[in-house]
């Protein structure tokens, strides 16, 4: 895999900066011609969801926040007392929130306020803290997709663990989309083919450079992606001599080990230059157990003919980025749980 470092970069000064000048190493870097700003401060910001003129933000602890996209005010808390409400998604005027143990929804009033009683959509999630931060998104089929991590470093998943499932907006018609997953915290559908791609975190404790983090492609519902027998195409510790139960679907693309790929978003807008259109922006949360740290950036994964062909650094020194979502004007929102910031990246402003 080829990784390109963007040489024309800049810094985040005060709340905004336009690419092209040198600056402090601790500030965010974006390519020349791009502008990066702080949209809002949200403690432990995680998944993002655009709902009309409001950006909702899930968190690791107990609250969900709303940010008006019209510039009238900062982030405000709209729900609290929840169990790790990491995942957020919006559909037909309702906000869906994926917690460690359930998925619930609320009607959204104009201005981003949540109204009416909370409705539990699905309540049978394995309530385990390890890899218990859920990611959700509505697919082009109108169904709600939900990732469920394996509650371990390397182990045999049980029940719904280590899978991506989908269901109707009311929780009906649940179906398994993919299994054999260690921990996926990001997915999206290719605008060219409509194919689902998802990130998956590789296992720890097997050295600096293996196994890789993965970008996987779902061509057939119910495919098996190898965990815990494989990480990428590497055999995982403790399962090296055990026969896999079925044929593995190998990764479509390998990221470096331990960069912790999380949220991803295919770029569909018209604001960014042509070279980025149709590519996937992927948040690398960053390594915690590598002798030389890696990640801590958003990369652009190039797609040609519906397949990933390489990645290059796009926005660096962000802290620990978690999710990426395109905003209605074609700019990009990036969440970072450390330091608790939502960035906005635009071009040509």
Q: What is the mean pLDDT of residues 234-246?
A: 97
pLDDT at 1: 38
Question: If pLDDT is split at 50, 70 and 90, which confidence band does 340 have?
Answer: very high
Grouping H, G, I as helix, E, B as strand and the rest as coil, residue 21 is coil
Asked if residue 324 lies in contact with residue 269, where contact means CB atoms within 8 angstroms, the answer is: no
Indicate the length of the chain as a whole number: 349
pLDDT above 60 for 349:
yes
CA-based nearest residue to 225, from 283, 182, 262, 172: 182
pLDDT above 70 for 2:
no
Model pLDDT for residues 166-195, shown as the tens digit of each residue: 999 999 999 999 999 999 999 999 998 999
Domain 42-313 has CATH 2.120.10.30: yes
Q: What is the mean pLDDT of residues 23-34?
A: 71
Question: If pLDDT is split at 50, 70 and 90, which confidence band does 72 have?
Answer: confident
More confident residue, 320 or 8: 320
pLDDT at 71: 83
pLDDT at 281: 98
How high is the mean pLDDT of the chain?
92
Alpha-carbon distance of 255 to 294, in angstroms, equals 11
pTM (two decimals): 0.92
Asked if residue 280 lies in contact with residue 255, where contact means CB atoms within 8 angstroms, the answer is: no
Alpha-carbon distance of 143 to 170, in angstroms, equals 9
Q: What is the mean pLDDT of residues 60-73?
A: 93
Question: If pLDDT is split at 50, 70 and 90, which confidence band does 53 have?
Answer: very high
Question: Which regions of the chain carry the CATH code 2.120.10.30?
Answer: 42-313
pLDDT at 118: 95
DSSP 264-285: EEE---SSS-GGGTT-EEEEE-
Phi, psi of 248 (to 5 degrees): -75, 140
Model pLDDT for residues 204-234, shown as the tens digit of each residue: 999 999 999 999 999 999 999 999 999 999 9
Model pLDDT for residues 102-161, shown as the tens digit of each residue: 999 999 999 999 998 999 999 999 999 999 999 999 999 999 999 999 999 999 999 999
Grouping H, G, I as helix, E, B as strand and the rest as coil, residue 79 is strand
Model pLDDT for residues 273-305, shown as the tens digit of each residue: 999 999 999 999 999 999 999 999 999 999 999
Edge-to-edge, what's the strand order for the sheet holding 144-148? 135-138, 144-148, 163-167, 175-179, 223-224
Alpha-carbon distance of 202 to 261, in angstroms, equals 9
Percent of the chain with pLDDT over 70: 92
Question: If pLDDT is split at 50, 70 and 90, which confidence band does 27 have?
Answer: confident
CA-based nearest residue to 249, from 213, 271, 222, 286: 222
Phi, psi of 226 (to 5 degrees): 110, -25
């Amino acid at each position: 895999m080829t990784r390109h470092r963007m040489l024309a970069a800049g810094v985040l000064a005060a709340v905004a900066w336009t690419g092209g000048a040198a600056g402090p190493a601790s500030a965010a870097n974006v390519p020349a011609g791009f502008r990066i700003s702080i949209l809002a401060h949200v403690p432990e910001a995680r998944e993002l969801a655009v709902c009309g003129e409001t950006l909702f933000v899930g968190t690791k602890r107990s609250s969900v926040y709303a940010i008006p996209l019209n510039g009238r005010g900062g982030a405000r808390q709209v729900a609290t007392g929840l169990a790790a409400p990491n995942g957020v998604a919006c559909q037909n005027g309702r906000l869906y929130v994926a917690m460690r143990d359930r998925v619930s929804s609320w009607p959204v009033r104009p201005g981003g306020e949540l109204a009416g009683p909370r409705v539990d959509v699905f309540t049978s999630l394995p309530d385990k803290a390890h890899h218990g931060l859920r990611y959700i998104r509505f697919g082009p089929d109108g169904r709600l997709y939900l990732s469920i991590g394996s509650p371990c470093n390397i182990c045999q998943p049980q029940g719904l663990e280590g899978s991506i499932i989908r269901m109707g907006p009311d929780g009906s018609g649940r179906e398994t989309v993919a299994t054999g997953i260690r921990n996926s915290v990001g997915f999206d559908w290719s605008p060219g083919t409509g194919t689902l791609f998802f990130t998956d975190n590789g296992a720890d404790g097997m050295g600096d450079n293996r196994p890789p983090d993965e970008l996987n492609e779902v061509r057939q519902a119910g495919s098996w992606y190898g965990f815990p027998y494989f990480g990428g195409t590497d055999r995982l510790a403790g399962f090296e001599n055990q026969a896999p139960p079925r044929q593995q679907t190998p990764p479509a693309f390998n990221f470096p080990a331990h960069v912790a790929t999380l949220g991803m978003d295919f770029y569909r807008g018209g604001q960014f230059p042509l070279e980025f259109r149709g590519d996937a922006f992927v948040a690398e949360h960053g390594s915690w157990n590598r002798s030389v740290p890696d990640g801590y950036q958003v990369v652009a994964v190039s797609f040609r003919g519906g397949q990933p062909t390489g990645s290059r650094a796009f926005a660096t020194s962000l802290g620990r980025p978690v999710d990426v979502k395109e905003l209605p004007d074609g700019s990009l929102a990036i969440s970072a749980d450390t330091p608790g910031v939502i960035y906005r990246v635009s071009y040509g402003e």
